[in-house]
Structure 1
């Protein structure tokens, strides 16, 4: 969970799921973020997912799933 001040500092969206304790940015040692994304998409189709160069975003927003 991010407080609003930290969320602004890291460039998070104003209504970020992180500030609602509904999101995590994850890395799996030795596994490419795209592979983590693909596995999460297959195993948890209702999760919202974001692809980034060094991590994968996952959240449980109620108006999802969102994918980017």
Structure 2
């Protein structure tokens, strides 16, 4: 079932804090269940977020909101 959500309702209620910079790890050393969102330039010395990524996903909740754009009402896919 589709739900109509006003854009004014999106934002503060769904605010998620940015993960700490202390969690960042080199991409080559990131393991399973770690956010793989690359911070800065994607090169051979890339650093990823490193925050916990639940359910085996590739990104933490904060970066998942950046990577995926929420569906807008009336938009065809």
TM-score using structure 2 length: 0.26
TM-score by length of 1: 0.28
| Greater strand share, structure number | 1
Radius of gyration: which is bigger?
A: 2
